[in-house]
Amino acid sequence: MRNTLPALRQDRGWSQQRLADELGVSRQTIISIERGRFDPSLPLAFRIARLFETSIETVFEPDDAG
């Protein structure tokens, strides 16, 4: 799943560790999500979207999206 998390995070000037702390997950989780290696759970995806005051669709996009 592609995502815009790196751009959203960098817009705020946050490090991966800072974002991980905000979300209550490990830094490795943020690294894996940003690389597209790990699809977050729905609750975590909602928290990410809420944290950046946007919608899930803005942050995440399925690989097969047309």
Query: Which residues sit at the interface with other proteins, rule CB under 8 A?
Result: 20-26, 28-29, 31-33, 35, 37-38, 40-41, 43-44
By beta-carbon proximity to other proteins, the closer residue of 4 and 29 is 29
Biggest CA-to-CA distance, the chain: 34
As measured in angstroms, the least distance from the Cβ of 66 to other proteins is: 28
By beta-carbon proximity to other proteins, the closer residue of 1 and 25 is 25
User: Are the beta carbons of 58 and 46 closer than 8 angstroms?
Assistant: no
| Segment holding 10, helix H or strand E | helix 5-11
As measured in angstroms, the least distance from the Cβ of 16 to other proteins is: 12
User: Are the beta carbons of 1 and 62 closer than 8 angstroms?
Assistant: yes
